[in-house]
Structure 1
Amino acid sequence: MGEGSYGKVVKGQKLDDKRNVAIKVLKRDGEDVWRELNALRTIAVLDADLCNVVQFYECFNSMGRPCMAFEMLDLDLYQFMGTRKWAPMPCSEIRPIAKQLLVALDALASLGVVHSDVKTDNVMLVDAVNQPLRVKLIDFGLARSAVTILQGELLQAVAYRAPEIWLGLPITEAIDMWGLGCTLAFLLLGINLFPSHCEYQTVRFMVQILGQPEDRLIQAGMFSQAFFVRQFAPGRPRFRLRTPEEYFAGTGYQTTACSPFTTLSCLDQLVHIHPHHHDSELEDRKALVDLLKGMLDLDGRLRLRPHEALQHPFISMSHLRQDPRHTQYLIASQQNLEVSAVKDSIQGQMPFVAPKDSLSPDWPVAPKESLSPDWPVAPKESLSPDWPASSPKPSTEPSVYPEESPSPEEASSPEPSVARTDEDVERLVRLRCCSSFFSGKRFASAAGWE
């Protein structure tokens, strides 16, 4: 049915009830397998249908290879868009998909779980023929508890990667909202909003469309210097995006040109990116773009949360109820929304508990040692070395974003490099070993500005 770096998915059948299932056959056993099982065990308390996540049945070994059995679904959103020849999806069809995925992320957030890989490939239609807009979130291979994610970890696909991953800022559930925002933009455009084949171009288009992250975010990032460089021009931001030549000089990787949206300079332009046939569709697109602005906020702390997005006018359709001219469009949109099994009454409630007999009785429990107890914690000095000791941190969640303004001394002289121990350097190499952010000669200074 499909194959990836993790292994392959094959079709199977449960012998007790003859139900067809999708079996994920993993290439190897190890910490990744136990991490996914731990995530699946955590979300097993959710009602898979009401919370729009894939139903996990059991795990077993076959010829020495770990296997996981899930409910059989149809095709993912990327494949679905391919069947439409990549034609943009109307807002009235995007809305039920957005609502179902927001409910899924809200349920995961209530458990403190970060999916870490929200993208079109990991959203599947339940039945493209009978329930064409009914979707579920799949693939929890990268999911884990938010409190276990280290600052600087490399997560998410390139085109769906949040700014805090690029810059090396603290990681929270907000990265899933960014991934969902990019997914909805894909449905609206028929193509990724940000390029996926070149990391520099992805960041460049992010800056071009959404603006540059604030200086305090860049300053606090462990890996910001891969893409940004200091400047000391009066009245301008303290940092600017590197040129392609500077990026190559610093990382050793050439940039490639790319994206049909080279002239797109803000999200507002998405309102008129495609022709509209009715004023109601135009108003609906404006509401969707407003929702995308909240989901794609460069500051993860200010990004919309799932329960907030569920109250947005695009989801509630309050903007369509105010004008009688939108009545017909509103009725059609409500009919599309009815394909979702999610009711408004579940918003804000605690996750639904699955019946005990739905859990595999011989479910293996991940050994404690698989949770890497000796995994090094991010050194304090990597959490923005110049954070004033007297500055209070927000009480709601940890942050390493220092609120600072350049002093006359800073404007006249560059900051000294931050000293790194061998242990710090080794940690950075481990975290970024599969990334093309830095060449080996730059690992030692990856967390401090030169």
Structure 2
Amino acid sequence: MLGSGGLFGFLRSFASTPARQPHFCFLSLRRLRLLPVGMVIHGEPGVLIISFGMLCEIKKDIQGSDDLLPVVLKSGKITYLRENKLGEGSFGKVLHYKIQDTSEDVAVKFINREEGLEELKMLKKINALDPDKNCFLKMLDHFEYKSLICVVSEKLDQTMSDVILKRNQRPFDVCELRPVAQQLLVALRALKTIGLVHCDIKLNNLMFVNHQSYPYKVKLIDFGLAREKPSLSRISDIQIVGYKAPEVVFGCPLDEAVDMWSVGCVLASMYKAKHFYPRTCLYDYIASIIHMQGQPPDKILLQGIRVYEFFNPINTFRSKFKSLIKQMLCVDQKTRITPEEALNHNFITMKHLSERTKDPYVTSAREIMSVCEPVTTMQPDAPKSFFKKKNKRDPQHRGVGVFILNLNVKM
């Protein structure tokens, strides 16, 4: 984690670099009113945790301890015998069972009823696609146990996180990454054909089928957060920090591209043998993305309903003013902006602010502009050739190169 001093130092040095001068600027932590990070408690029933710089509530996945889950589990004519615990998913616990008659190993996920029914709906759609061919965990059976939904699936080997640890965090070679990337892309393509988005792709949700026999055969698991594409309307409770697409953080319109971002994070993490982006808090996460990949375009940021939690919008308004001035003061008169073009510039029309109807700054700007007569159709500007002979200039006064302007002016 950068820490508050380190973060502000980073932001100051970043903002002072002309080539990367952002139109939006980060807000201070004090303005964000974030709670301290670090008081994280996992696995306690009904506990509140402070995580990712915000106060979050953890729901109880399963009532009671693992010992309360059945040693013998029956589903029709099949009897499952409990072995041990394998892990926990988004909304449930996963235990290792054996089928009594065949000694076949299976994984049984116990899920709260409400979330379980939703996950089961997604798994049925995925099972219809041929999970083996499309690199998904295969569901074998499902039934109810008391108030829980039980999903029986094939038992896989190890998660990608487990394998990275066993390799002593030795990075994967690009030749090893290629088959993993191909299989993940096959899975994403299949999900897209049925309109589903996984929403929780990370190292722990990528498993090796049998790392000893098939070292690079992997499958995508845990569809507890999977959504149908139309239901992804600017929601923020998907993906984890470190794998969360920027459009999710900013509250922009979403689609299946959020999964591709997570796949990129997974592959980069395998290549580095550690998490590619910081997972301390959203603020550090976004700072790291900007540092490595540059400022997101204004047209993207202006779509976000939560972007102002991270950026100062005033600088976007200033950027439009600077854009107009630079075009007015263009040294090459042939490319200098015309009156018609200037009247249609975003600084004058404020078209880029059309969705910000409740922003106080925008409201004030529109009130001030009310003194201007509405501009409709304008006559075309006189041809440049009309002035060609009359505006001959001494060569020594002709401008050369690019005109750079840095105005710290508030509009």
Question: Aligned ranges for residues 288-437 of structure 1 at < 5 Å?
Answer: 406-408=346-348, 417-418=358-359
Question: Aligned ranges for residues 55-134 of structure 1 at < 5 Å?
Answer: 55-134=138-217
The aligned amino acid for 1:417 is K
Q: Is the 8 A contact 2:265 2:276 kept in 1?
A: yes
Secondary structure class of the residue paired with 1:158: coil
Fraction of identical pairs, as percent: 33
Secondary structure class of the residue paired with 1:407: helix
Secondary structure class of the residue paired with 2:299: helix
Q: Is the 8 A contact 1:230 1:238 kept in 2?
A: no
Paired with 1:51 and 1:409, the residues of 2 have a C-alpha distance of 50
The aligned amino acid for 1:42 is K
Secondary structure class of the residue paired with 1:49: helix
Q: Is the 8 A contact 1:55 1:71 kept in 2?
A: yes
Alpha-carbon deviation of 1:165? 0.1
Paired with 2:231 and 2:217, the residues of 1 have a C-alpha distance of 32
The aligned amino acid for 1:94 is L
Paired with 2:242 and 2:346, the residues of 1 have a C-alpha distance of 33
Paired with 2:345 and 2:255, the residues of 1 have a C-alpha distance of 26
Alpha-carbon deviation of 1:62? 2.5
Superposed CA offset, 1:268-299 (max 9, x none): xxxxxxxxxxxxxxxxxxxxxxxxxxxxxxxx
Paired with 1:63 and 1:34, the residues of 2 have a C-alpha distance of 14
Partner of 1:29: 113
Partner of 2:94: 9
Paired with 1:213 and 1:197, the residues of 2 have a C-alpha distance of 21
Q: Is the 8 A contact 2:253 2:303 kept in 1?
A: no
Alignment of 1:178 with 2:261, yes or no, is: yes
Alpha-carbon deviation of 1:118? 0.8
Alpha-carbon deviation of 1:39? 0.5
Paired with 1:166 and 1:45, the residues of 2 have a C-alpha distance of 32
- TM-score, normalised on structure 1? 0.52
Q: 2:271 aligns with which of 163, 175, 188?
A: 188
Superposed CA offset, 1:70-106 (max 9, x none): 1000010011101011111100100011111111111
The structure with the largest strand share of the pair is 2
The aligned amino acid for 1:2 is G
Paired with 2:220 and 2:317, the residues of 1 have a C-alpha distance of 48
Paired with 2:217 and 2:135, the residues of 1 have a C-alpha distance of 9
In structure 2, the CA distance between the partners of 1:409 and 1:87, relative to structure 1 (3 Å rule), is same
Paired with 1:237 and 1:159, the residues of 2 have a C-alpha distance of 32
Q: 2:252 aligns with which of 150, 169, 180?
A: 169
Secondary structure class of the residue paired with 2:144: strand
In structure 2, the CA distance between the partners of 1:88 and 1:10, relative to structure 1 (3 Å rule), is same
Q: Is the 8 A contact 1:152 1:222 kept in 2?
A: no
Question: Which structure is richer in relative contact order (CA contacts within 8 A, separation 6 or more)?
Answer: 1
Q: Is the 8 A contact 1:232 1:238 kept in 2?
A: no
Q: Is the 8 A contact 1:81 1:190 kept in 2?
A: yes
In structure 2, the CA distance between the partners of 1:187 and 1:234, relative to structure 1 (3 Å rule), is same
Alpha-carbon deviation of 1:152? 3.1
Partner of 2:306: 223
In structure 2, the CA distance between the partners of 1:179 and 1:218, relative to structure 1 (3 Å rule), is same
Secondary structure class of the residue paired with 1:8: strand
Q: Is the 8 A contact 2:320 2:347 kept in 1?
A: no
- TM-score, normalised on structure 2? 0.57
Alpha-carbon deviation of 1:59? 1.4
Q: Is the 8 A contact 1:23 1:67 kept in 2?
A: yes
Q: 2:289 aligns with which of 187, 190, 206?
A: 206
* Structure 2 gap segments, 5+ residues each: 1-85, 323-343, 361-411
- Output the aligned Cα RMSD: 2.6
Partner of 2:390: none
Partner of 1:325: none
Partner of 1:148: 231
Q: Is the 8 A contact 2:198 2:226 kept in 1?
A: yes
Superposed CA offset, 1:400-447 (max 9, x none): xxxx96314759x9976259xxxxxxxxxxxxxxxxxxxxxxxxxxxx
Q: Is the 8 A contact 1:54 1:70 kept in 2?
A: yes
Superposed CA offset, 1:313-365 (max 9, x none): xxxxxxxxxxxxxxxxxxxxxxxxxxxxxxxxxxxxxxxxxxxxxxxxxxxxx
Paired with 2:246 and 2:229, the residues of 1 have a C-alpha distance of 17
Partner of 1:52: 135
Partner of 1:159: 242
The aligned amino acid for 1:406 is N
Superposed CA offset, 1:150-169 (max 9, x none): 22342101100001101111
Superposed CA offset, 1:351-400 (max 9, x none): xxxxxxxxxxxxxxxxxxxxxxxxxxxxxxxxxxxxxxxxxxxxxxxxxx
Alpha-carbon deviation of 1:4? 5.0
Instruction: Report which of the two structures shows the higher radius of gyration computed on alpha carbons.
Output: 2
* Structure 1 gap segments, 5+ residues each: 240-403, 420-450
Alpha-carbon deviation of 1:191? 1.1
